[in-house]
Amino acid sequence: MNRNVKGMGRLSYNATLVLQAMSQGHKYGFEIMRVLRLPSGTVYPLLRRLEASEMVSSGWEDEDAAHSDRRPARRYYTLTEKGAEALEEGRRRIAAQQAALFGDLNGERGVTP
Amino acid sequence: MIGWVSRVFVRSAAVLVPRERRPRFLREWRAELAHEVDDVGRLGAMRLAIGAFADALAIRRIDAEHESSGRTRSAPGLRHMAGDLRVAARALRREPAFTMAAVVTLALGMGGSGAIYSLLDGVVLDPLPYPDPQQLVHISNRVPGVAADAVWGASTAQQMYYAEHASTLQSVGLFRTLGANMETPGGPVRAFGWRTTTSVFPMLGLRPMLGRLFVAEDDRPGAPPVVVLSHSIWQQQFGGDRNIVGSSITIDGRPAEVVGVLEPGGAAPLGPPGYRSDLWVPLQIDPDGYFGNNHVYTMVARLREGYDVSAAEVELANLERQLPERFPRAYSESFFDGSGFYTQAVPLKEAVVGDMARNLWILMGAVAIVLVAACANVANLLVARLESKDRELMVRRALGASRVALARYLMSEALVLSVLGGGLGLAIVWLGGPALFSIAPDSLPRIESFRLDLGTFLFIGGLAATVGVALGGYALLRSGKDTGRGLVSAGRRHSAGKKRQTMRGALVVTQIALATALVVGAGLLLESMRRLNAIDPGFDAEGVLTARLFLTPTRYDADEQMWSAYSAILERVRSIPGVVSAGMAQELPVEGNFGCTSQGFEERAVYDRLSEAGLSTCAGQERHTPGYFEAIGIPLLQGRVLTDADNLDPTRGSVVVSKSFADRFWPSENAIGKGVAPNGRNVEPFYRVVGIVGDHPAGSLDGDPAIAIYYPIVDNPDTPGNWGWWRPSSLSLAVKSDRPDPMDLLPAIRRAVNDVDPTIPIVRARPMTEVVEESIARFAFVSTLLAVAAAVALTVAAIGIYGVVSYIVSRSTGEIGMRVAVGARPAQVEALFVKRALILASCGLVIGLGLAAGLTRVLQGLLYGVERGNPVSYVAAGSVLLVAALVASWIPARRAAAVEPVVALRAE
């Protein structure tokens, strides 16, 4: 991994969310923004970062499909294998953080890691 | 369809994206915006589009990181920027001359803008300190038949009628200035304030801090006298005594109950310059009493919800035509026809700020021009420096510095410069602000709200950021074109140099054009100022002391009593060593506006002539004492002036008129001996005109001549004229002295007045020259500031020319060497460069003069005795600019001529 690409040595919380959204089938910027309720100024730069660090790849939507919907073709993003691994790691970390902070649902105190 | 704003955002953001990535960026964003606008609405689309900037910056940064990866380990985020700024600051410190020049130029531009902004903010932009101030209107009257620009106040009849019948107005309030001698624990003081209708307090949202304000009962004629005090006079004169409510204080010799104290800051919106709202008493208009055609009140109204000023004006136009029917003694159809009387309503703020709003906007425009010229200058300096660093940049590039790194570096430098400039500009405002404040005239409206606050700070901060980004962007653009591309061939370098020269030339032409426009504007104002000062005002202000005297009404209720007090005071004053002459009048030239009071005439022919000419019978009706004309230096043109005998035996019925008065009412006859009477009374016996005196301007030095008639202090007992509110209980004293400073006489004059009656206060004692200066102070203020702005613009332009010629000289060392080597004389070399500068200057001049022809349109209303197209001003401005260009180019040209050919050729 390119150490110089900011924040990608260890996924940030928002980056993990973006990967998670994509893993659920949300494919383009606006859709991801809407499902995560994050501003455009956060989501698009993250997509660039993730793409630059090869965790996602992108390509244009099929022109014919877009045309039949009477709109320009969108740029679709998909998870790469590397992205999927990073997401898995990110999920574990978030789960651990949550457990530490909020404990389980029975209201027990969290465990300090 | 996506909104064009969003499109513009995306398009602008795309500029930041490296060229090769731009098409994908644009296509993706267009697709994103195109189909989602239905979901998010236009505003949402805009918000979405703003993200395009963050996206573009991310793309840039990722690119830059890729480029520099492996070579340097760049620090993330803020550390990056801080580092860049540090590097830039260090580099600038190594070049103090350049840094100084750039920072000072920017500071002048930003400081000037900040200073004028702070004035504009305090005077014009800040809302009036009343609830819903936009609903408040000022109602006054125009009388084009009397004088084109005369504005009359309102009458009690109008207030009564409009308050009852105007459906567009929620409430109507009337104000009348009130000066009164007030007894306080510390002795008698002269207090100022207002007689008002009860409606005024709720209308302005004024609230009591102690006690209560007026109730309807207080406003009834004959109700026990009550007074409301301002917070400040309560603090200053009554020591903040909370038991004052319910107690009685003596005002003008009569007791009045203090019913309340206003909250701090509670004041009337309008009033004479520097007027204080110390006390408020009810106006007590008697609905069944006498209503005169006395337009001496200030009327303020609050619009009813849903109506605007124009709706109110339309309604008032209808209502005013009903006045003759309701108030037949005050208004007549012929009065309307003769005077062209009509009622106007303007937003209260407009009435308060007056023409100062326009003046300050003009100044704001002027300093904005200075700022643009300053930026053009610094842009030139930056790029020139960039070129001198060509080699360094090339080396950096060759060593692997990315374009992004270079861009960051340039941007950082520009930002450091602009922030330093902004800081210094702020310091200029901070230190110079009080000086600006001190030369601002007292009559500047809302001067008390002038301050340097967070708004000014933010304004300058915003300017610095904008200027920094603009300059950095410009430098970047220039550098992107032809700097640091690695190996640059000599030929390309030459052509690139040519292009730069053109650009630099264009910037200098812009500066000169802007400076020319400002210099023309300032020239026009200074010429107006010169002509104003050269006016023969018709009186002699030199060596004259003036002061206002107030007699307590309870002690002096007859003209004879007043006369004996005044004549006793004058007798004592005249005996003071150093006094040449002394006299008194109700209004001083220039200071007073002389109002307009109907006169009666013995001859029917006068009325016929007036109605034919569409003029009214009104004139400035004055009372005065003997000695007044001598003291103030108004010449007697014909006949005689009044003497003590005219007051001791008022049945003589003598009166003096001004030349304008005689010319208006008896245009082709001798006025001496004609019969005239005050207040429109036109039955026997008439006063006889015994003398004609010279004219003087009313209102201000550039005012029209006062059409004045000077009655004696003591009224003719045979003429039961209704002097009413026009009693001579307060007069201005004028004392002509042979001392260098007439104010030296003030203590002796105070003693003289005190000897006659210690309860008579002397107010506003000052030299007559100050009265004259004050009458044009607002004009002088604007002219001075505009002249300063023009001088700064001129300096900036001269520096610009100097810079560009220096640059050409430094680039042309080889050419100079060749020329000198083949026999050119130094003078020829000098001429060569001066000529180039003059070509640039001429281009700027032509554009600038054209610009001035358009821009001076805004000055039209400010000019006095000079047309905005005045060729002298244009020629003078052109000459000033050309001389500046000549000097600024000659200095570096001389340097060029001194070049040794061997050195020059070696340099090449």
Q: What is the mean pLDDT of residues B49-53?
A: 83
* Interchain pair B47, A40: CB under 8 A: yes
Nearest in space to B18 (alpha carbons), one of B63, B50, B71 = B63
Task: Give the distance from residue A41's alpha carbon to the nearest chain B alpha carbon, in angstroms.
Answer: 4
Beta bridge partners of B597: B619
Nearest in space to B381 (alpha carbons), one of B370, B369, B373 = B373
Q: For all residues of chain B together, what is the average pLDDT?
A: 83
- With CA atoms as reference, the chain B residue closest to A7 would be B76
Partners of A34 on chain B (C-beta within 8 Å) are: 39
A28 has a chain B CB within 8 A of its CB: yes
B75 has a chain A CB within 8 A of its CB: no
B150 has a chain A CB within 8 A of its CB: no
B784 has a chain A CB within 8 A of its CB: no
Is B413 in contact with B91 (CB distance < 8 Å)? yes
Is A31 in contact with A37 (CB distance < 8 Å)? no
Is B715 in contact with B734 (CB distance < 8 Å)? no
Q: H or E element: which one contains B125?
A: none
- Predicted confidence (pLDDT) per residue in B331-386, tens digit: 888 778 777 888 999 999 888 888 788 888 888 988 898 898 889 888 888 877 77
Q: Rounded distance, CA B159 to CA B286, Å?
A: 12
Tell me: pLDDT of B545 over 90. yes
- Predicted confidence (pLDDT) per residue in B698-735, tens digit: 877 878 888 999 999 988 877 665 555 467 888 999 99
Is B792 in contact with B541 (CB distance < 8 Å)? no
The reported pLDDT for the residue numbered B773 is: 85
Q: Mapping DSSP to helix (H, G, I), strand (E, B) and coil, where does residue B200 land?
A: helix
Task: Give the distance from residue A42's alpha carbon to the nearest chain B alpha carbon, in angstroms.
Answer: 7
B638 burial class (0-12, 13-18, 19+ CB within 10 angstroms)?
middle
Residue of A2, A40, A49 lying closest to B48 (CB–CB) = A40
A74 has a chain B CB within 8 A of its CB: yes
Residue of A44, A72, A75 lying closest to B51 (CB–CB) = A44
ipTM of the prediction greater than 0.95, yes or no: no
Nearest in space to B574 (alpha carbons), one of B627, B538, B640, B646 = B627
Q: What is the mean pLDDT of residues B513-542?
A: 87
Q: What is the pTM of this model?
A: 0.67
B185 burial class (0-12, 13-18, 19+ CB within 10 angstroms)?
exposed
What is the Cα B219 distance to its own chain's centre?
Answer: 38
Q: Mapping DSSP to helix (H, G, I), strand (E, B) and coil, where does residue A72 land?
A: coil
Q: Mapping DSSP to helix (H, G, I), strand (E, B) and coil, where does residue B752 land?
A: helix
Nearest in space to A48 (alpha carbons), one of B64, B8, B402 = B64
- The alpha carbons of chain B give a radius of gyration, in whole angstroms, of 36
* Interchain pair B51, A43: CB under 8 A: yes
The reported pLDDT for the residue numbered B487 is: 37
Is B388 in contact with B477 (CB distance < 8 Å)? no
A40 has a chain B CB within 8 A of its CB: yes
* Interchain pair A52, B54: CB under 8 A: no
Beta carbons within 8 Å of B652's beta carbon, 6+ residues apart: B645, B646
Phi-psi region for residue A37, left (φ > 0), alpha (ψ -120 to 50) or beta? left
B36 has a chain A CB within 8 A of its CB: yes
* Interchain pair B62, A71: CB under 8 A: no
Beta carbons within 8 Å of B742's beta carbon, 6+ residues apart: B543, B544, B545, B735, B736, B767, B768
- Predicted confidence (pLDDT) per residue in B791-831, tens digit: 888 888 888 778 777 777 777 777 777 787 788 888 888 88
Tell me: pLDDT of B640 over 80. yes
A32 has a chain B CB within 8 A of its CB: no
Q: Mapping DSSP to helix (H, G, I), strand (E, B) and coil, where does residue B585 land?
A: strand
CB atoms within 10 A of CB B839: 13
Task: Give the distance from residue B407's alpha carbon to the nearest chain A alpha carbon, in angstroms.
Answer: 20
Among A5, A26, A30, the residue to mutate for chain B (most B Cβ within 10 A): A30
* Interchain pair B31, A5: CB under 8 A: no
The reported pLDDT for the residue numbered B205 is: 92
Residue of A5, A33, A42 lying closest to B62 (CB–CB) = A5
Phi-psi region for residue B232, left (φ > 0), alpha (ψ -120 to 50) or beta? alpha
Q: Rounded distance, CA B73 to CA B71, Å?
A: 7
Among B7, B22, B61, B80, the residue to mutate for chain A (most A Cβ within 10 A): B61
* Interchain pair B31, A49: CB under 8 A: no
Tell me: pLDDT of B132 over 80. yes
Q: H or E element: which one contains B618?
A: strand B618-623
The pair of structure tokens assigned to B609 is 């002539």
Partners of B62 on chain A (C-beta within 8 Å) are: 5, 48-49, 52
Is B367 in contact with B116 (CB distance < 8 Å)? yes
Beta carbons within 8 Å of B473's beta carbon, 6+ residues apart: B411
- Predicted confidence (pLDDT) per residue in B93-131, tens digit: 888 878 888 898 899 899 889 888 888 888 888 888 899
Size of interface A-B (CB pairs under 8 A): 74
User: Among residues of chain B, what percentage have pLDDT more than 70?
Assistant: 89
* Alpha-carbon torsion (B697, B701, B702, B703), positive or negative: negative
Among B55, B69, B74, the residue to mutate for chain A (most A Cβ within 10 A): B55
Q: H or E element: which one contains B560?
A: helix B559-574
- Predicted confidence (pLDDT) per residue in B429-461, tens digit: 888 777 777 777 766 776 665 567 788 888 888
- Predicted confidence (pLDDT) per residue in A99-110, tens digit: 887 765 544 443
Task: Give the distance from residue B58's alpha carbon to the nearest chain A alpha carbon, in angstroms.
Answer: 5
B35 has a chain A CB within 8 A of its CB: yes
Task: Give the distance from residue B62's alpha carbon to the nearest chain A alpha carbon, in angstroms.
Answer: 7
* Interchain pair A42, B54: CB under 8 A: yes
Buried b (16+ CB within 10 A) or exposed e, B660-670: bbbbbbbeeee
B278-282, B283-287, B413-417, B804-808: least confident range? B804-808
* Interchain pair B31, A75: CB under 8 A: yes
* Interchain pair A41, B50: CB under 8 A: yes
The pair of structure tokens assigned to B458 is 């933010």
B121 has a chain A CB within 8 A of its CB: no
Q: What is the mean pLDDT of residues B744-760?
A: 91
The reported pLDDT for the residue numbered B579 is: 95
Among A3, A40, A54, the residue to mutate for chain B (most B Cβ within 10 A): A40
Using CA atoms of B87, B89, B91, B92 in order, give the dihedral in degrees to the nearest 10: 160
Among A18, A31, A44, the residue to mutate for chain B (most B Cβ within 10 A): A44
Tell me: pLDDT of B481 over 80. no
Partners of A37 on chain B (C-beta within 8 Å) are: none
The reported pLDDT for the residue numbered B43 is: 61
A103 has a chain B CB within 8 A of its CB: no
* Interchain pair A39, B73: CB under 8 A: no
Is B366 in contact with B518 (CB distance < 8 Å)? yes
- The alpha carbons of chain A give a radius of gyration, in whole angstroms, of 17
Task: Give the distance from residue B39's alpha carbon to the nearest chain A alpha carbon, in angstroms.
Answer: 10
- Predicted confidence (pLDDT) per residue in B22-32, tens digit: 888 988 888 88
